[in-house]
């Protein structure tokens, strides 16, 4: 890994967790080189492997700033969603009671957290329908810009 010493200099090794002291994403997870999760970088460096996008790391200590490799369990989406931190992944219905089915659900990437979220098509359609429409003149003015 490039900048290995620089990466590990941003880790505060306590008696329990190894805490990331560098920058963080808005969800609290450590951020390395603007787009990588610090705990994934630490795991890959420590074990000398490359994680695939299908691999998930579960924080057994439930501390999202922890990068200690033995606190991270390599798992997959289905096992990870069964952990207490995967509570949203276990939900079968949206907040308005619509079932998350293949036909009624799509995934939306959150560019801040780099995580996918399920979106209910029925609720999204209703949200779009309730959005205020611009008068025709304002729409034309926007197109001309």
For the stretch 42-80, pLDDT in tens is 999 999 999 988 888 888 888 889 999 999 988 876 665
Q: How far apart are CA 99 and CA 120, in angstroms?
A: 8
Both 29 and 66 in a single domain?
Answer: yes
138 within a domain of the structure (yes/no): no
pTM metric for this prediction: 0.57
Its domain, for residue 111, covers: 91-132
Both 46 and 96 in a single domain?
Answer: no
137 within a domain of the structure (yes/no): no
Domain count for the chain: 2
Both 66 and 123 in a single domain?
Answer: no
pLDDT grade, residue 12 (50/70/90)?
A: very high
DSSP character string of the chain:
-TTHHHHHTTEEE-SS-EEE-S-B-TTS-BEETTTEEHHHHHHHHHHT----TT-EEEETT--TTB--GGGEEEE-HHHHHTSGGGTTTT--B-TTS-B--TTTEEEEEETTTTEEEEEEHHHHHHHHHHSPPPPHHHHHHHHH-
Both 70 and 100 in a single domain?
Answer: no
């Amino acid at each position: 890994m490039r900048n290995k010493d620089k990466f590990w200099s941003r880790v505060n090794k306590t008696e329990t967790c190894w805490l990331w002291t560098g920058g963080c994403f808005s969800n609290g997870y450590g951020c390395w080189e603007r787009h990588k999760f610090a705990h994934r970088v630490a795991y890959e460096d420590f074990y000398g492997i490359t994680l695939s996008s299908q691999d998930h790391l579960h924080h057994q200590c439930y501390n999202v700033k922890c990068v200690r490799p033995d606190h991270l369990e390599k798992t997959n989406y289905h096992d990870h969603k069964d952990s207490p931190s995967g509570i949203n992944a276990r939900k079968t219905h949206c907040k308005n009671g619509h079932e998350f089915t293949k036909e009624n659900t799509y995934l939306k990437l959150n560019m801040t957290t780099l995580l996918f979220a399920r979106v209910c098509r029925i609720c999204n359609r209703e949200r779009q329908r309730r959005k205020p429409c611009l008068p025709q003149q304002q729409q034309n003015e926007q197109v001309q810009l």
